[in-house]
Amino acid sequence: QTSMESLIHHFKLYTEGYQVPPGATYTAIEAPKGEFGVYLVSDGSSRPYRCKIKAPGFAHLAGLDRMSQGHMLADVVAIIGTCPPPLLGSFPH
């Protein structure tokens, strides 16, 4: 009977999901090329209300304005090429 109860519990958990209390949290870990962060907002349901992911190269992208000051627009391609590779993956965000 224990295995049948665990099967029911697993099925219920799989179909309904976890009930997360309402609130927001930000968690960051150290990634190979910077900080990887996840921001989650919950409204109390089994699915997140909002989820934002901060890629490791985002800090490099934020500094692109300062790095390109005084240069021509054509030089921005060369400036981006000197930045670490995760920067290129952060552009769509």
Q: For 12-53, how does the pLDDT look when each residue is reduced to its tens digit (9 = 90+)? A: 888 887 778 899 999 999 988 788 999 999 998 888 899 999
Collapsing DSSP to helix, strand or coil, 24 comes out as strand
Residues 48 and 42: beta-carbon distance below 8 Å: yes
The answer to whether 33 and 86 have CB atoms below 8 angstroms apart is yes
Backbone dihedral angles phi then psi of residue 21, each to the nearest 5 degrees: -65, 150
Domain range list for the chain: 18-90
**Global pTM value:** 0.60
**Are 47 and 55 a contacting pair, CB within 8 Å?**
no
